[in-house]
Structure 1
Amino acid sequence: MTIFGTGHDAFVQHGCPVSDCEIVNSPHQYPGRPLDSYDAIIFNFNDEFWLTKRPIFNRQPHQRFIFFTQEPPPSIKQMNISGYRNYFNWTMTYRMDSDVRFLYGRIRPKPSAPKTMEETEVRMKESTRQLMLNKRKVTRRKKKKKKLVAAMISHCTTDGQREQYIKQLRKHVKVDVYGWCNHGERSSKTLHCDTDELLSSTPECYNMLDSNYKFYLSFENAICPDYVTEKFFQIMSLRDIVPVVYGGADYAQLAPEHSYIDARQFEPQQLAAYLKKLAANETLYNEYLWWKDDYVVEAGMEEMVRRGFCDLCRKLHEANQEPKMYTSMASRWNPARCQRPSKHGDQIKPEQNLPGSLNVLSSFNVMNLLSRRSTQNYSEK
């Protein structure tokens, strides 16, 4: 749990509204402390999990066993979770119906944000006009963007077949692919962008995209309900680039009106034509940037972890909670809940009111333990 930290200090340092919790990386950190003394045990469903024996101890009624993963069902479809019936109390995932949401990002309206569609249309016109004035002033000092479309791809073959869509798109418009994948295949001849120790793209990389490209392909590797990864929110946080999305989430619930382009609504050839049309018309392009001064984008791994564990601590302190147990995680976390396009123009309709799903942080260990603060502090022994 190196990103969030450990102990009680982690909750204080992150400014959690409810900070009276402590977190432990693994049972081995304080071997003298019994597992049944913790209020919550988080099971991280990563590859390492399946190499680790399930702990055996007398589970207490007050304890919450939490199913945690960042990955969509197709990414862990080889893992057998059918044996975990009536085992987990809560889910901590990217799904909007999780018990504790562990989201890759958020977009929050400022007080100045429009409240109705009519206000949005007025604000869009005003903002677009101001953007064009500002850009004309800036253009006198620096060159206009000459590149059209970029993408960062690390998984070359995906369940959502984004590589096939991009392959068809590149027949009609130039797409610069950063990462190891080129035309859907692993290649050492493609473009590269720096990454940090968590293998996330650096701020310098995103600034390069913002300075050089008009559009970014925020294509997910799986088309699953609510699954939107950090690159979408990172791109949304930039000033002058428009994301083109491809996924199974209801993006209208995540982002402002007319702030992104949904590739699933176009055949690749149609999308290429639309992007070229926007690039050639400054007014139409700037309409996609109208919202920048009226919303705040929260993005990045640190923000995701801070929000998630602060929310978990708060939930552990909530009184009068109804007992809860998931009878079958296998039925709730099933690759069949995701969609695999049969052709490039298939439209994806977000599923509604589906039960929980989940996600995994690769730098986390197999098990993390949380407890509400008590008079007995094992960390000081």
Structure 2
Amino acid sequence: MSNDGCCPTQRHRALGTLAGAALLSTLWVLWQLRSAPGGVPAAPPPLTVLIWHWPFADQPPELPGNTCVRYGVARCRLSTNRSLLASADVVVFHHRELQTGWARLPLAERPPGQPWVWASMESPSHTRGLRRLGGIFNWVLSYRRDSDIFVPYGRLEPLEGPARPLPAKSRVASWVVSNFQERQRRVQLYRQLAPHLQVDVFGRASGRPLCAHCLLPTVARYLFYLAFENSQHRDYITEKFWRNALAAGTVPVVLGPPRATYEAFAPADAFVHVDDFGTAQELAAFLAGMNASRYRHYLAWRDRLRVRLFGDWRERFCAICAHYPRLPRGQVYQDLEGWFQA
């Protein structure tokens, strides 16, 4: 006698259920193979992502069919052809063009159920007009970690091969700045640092602009770079940290979100946070008094990690396809301004 607690009738039902499931699976495979040449299942069609207006540009870049494949994303088609509005799987709108009036939302022509993406890499301090956009967008693409499509300005990845040697350091601190306004916290902090620390300032604000290919080699000659964000907001860590400092091969002195946020992106000993010091004078003394042994400690992460930058809008838009299977259906940002300003 069986001691599994299951009578013959129950076992027959279970076997019947399994057989039915197997039959359905077989029929599904046969249906996939029916119209596929050579018996190979047909690949699903690519997702079409319509970019309503290319960010900060009158003319979009060339978008060949393999654009997203270059960034490791398959079956993803980017297009700026507005005639595809009715058939696009996703439509993405960059906020700056909505803010300035260069682009308008085609609300009257929106197909029912079509997901719309709001995209911006700017901070809330430089973002206006969100109140009128409530109840329109389904997903958000931004640097915020709680975005539906999270696209940081950079990240650290495992290093493959030997670390690149750094140039000799001959100066203490540098800063590249174009938007210089006395009301900004970064300008106020610089004013407090300057009497106690030699900071070489470059950029349009100082009358010492650097060409695109000159910035990193110039900054690399300094021990420290002032990676001061133009405004302090949740997760707002820009190319000032990733490119101007880490990629250049110098140690960033950061002013932005709290230290814990930076530590979510980089080792705790890869940067100096201004919040760790009671006064600007204490910070200046720490930087000016840095010895060689301690400084090397700030660069130790370079033996195992490398910087990857994300500055290409094509890669950012391809990320929509990469996230697409996991994006919440039916979601609507009723208060986009409240979410972004939080």
Query: Match of 2:251, as an amino acid?
Result: V
Partners of 2:137 and 2:274 in 1: CA distance: 37
**1:22 counterpart (56, 61, 77):** 77
Alpha-carbon deviation of 1:98? 0.6
Partners of 1:179 and 1:277 in 2: CA distance: 27
The equivalent of 2:154 in structure 1 is 105
Q: Does 1:323 align with 2:330?
A: yes
The equivalent of 1:276 in structure 2 is 288
- After superposition, the C-alpha distances for 1:158-180 in whole angstroms (9 at most, x for unaligned) are 76420110011001011011012
Identity within the alignment, %: 27
The equivalent of 2:196 in structure 1 is 172
Over 3 Å counting, the alpha-carbon distance change for 1:332 and 1:160 in structure 2 is farther
- After superposition, the C-alpha distances for 1:196-255 in whole angstroms (9 at most, x for unaligned) are xxxxxx3x3212221x2111000000100000111211121234x211111015101010
TM-score, normalising length: structure 2: 0.74
Query: Match of 2:219, as an amino acid?
Result: L
Over 3 Å counting, the alpha-carbon distance change for 1:275 and 1:60 in structure 2 is same
**1:243 counterpart (228, 252, 257):** 252
- After superposition, the C-alpha distances for 1:316-345 in whole angstroms (9 at most, x for unaligned) are 3x17953211111121122xx4xxxxxxxx
**1:257 counterpart (253, 268, 271):** 268
Q: Does 1:310 align with 2:310?
A: no
**1:82 counterpart (131, 144, 147):** 131
Q: Does 1:147 align with 2:171?
A: yes
Query: Match of 1:21, as an amino acid?
Result: C
Larger Rg belongs to: 2
- Mapped contact 1:159–1:222 kept (Cα < 8 A): no
Alpha-carbon deviation of 1:109? 3.8
Alpha-carbon deviation of 1:83? 2.1
The equivalent of 1:192 in structure 2 is 209
The equivalent of 1:43 in structure 2 is 93
Alpha-carbon deviation of 1:311? 2.0
Q: Does 1:290 align with 2:339?
A: no
Query: Match of 1:275, as an amino acid?
Result: L
User: Size of the alignment, in residue pairs?
Assistant: 279
Alpha-carbon deviation of 1:111? 9.1
Query: Superposition RMSD on alpha carbons, in Å?
Result: 2.7
Alpha-carbon deviation of 1:11? 1.6
Query: Match of 2:148, as an amino acid?
Result: D
Which deviates the most, 101-110 or 214-223?
101-110
The equivalent of 1:6 in structure 2 is 63
Alpha-carbon deviation of 1:291? 0.9
Greater relative CO, 1 or 2 (CA 8 Å, sep 6+): 1
The equivalent of 1:156 in structure 2 is 180
Q: Does 1:232 align with 2:282?
A: no
- After superposition, the C-alpha distances for 1:238-274 in whole angstroms (9 at most, x for unaligned) are 34x2111110151010101301000122221011100
Alpha-carbon deviation of 1:277? 1.4
Alpha-carbon deviation of 1:58? 4.3
Partners of 2:326 and 2:311 in 1: CA distance: 30
Q: Which runs of 5+ in 1 are unaligned?
A: 113-126, 139-143, 183-187, 196-201, 338-381
Over 3 Å counting, the alpha-carbon distance change for 1:72 and 1:26 in structure 2 is farther
Query: Match of 2:287, as an amino acid?
Result: L
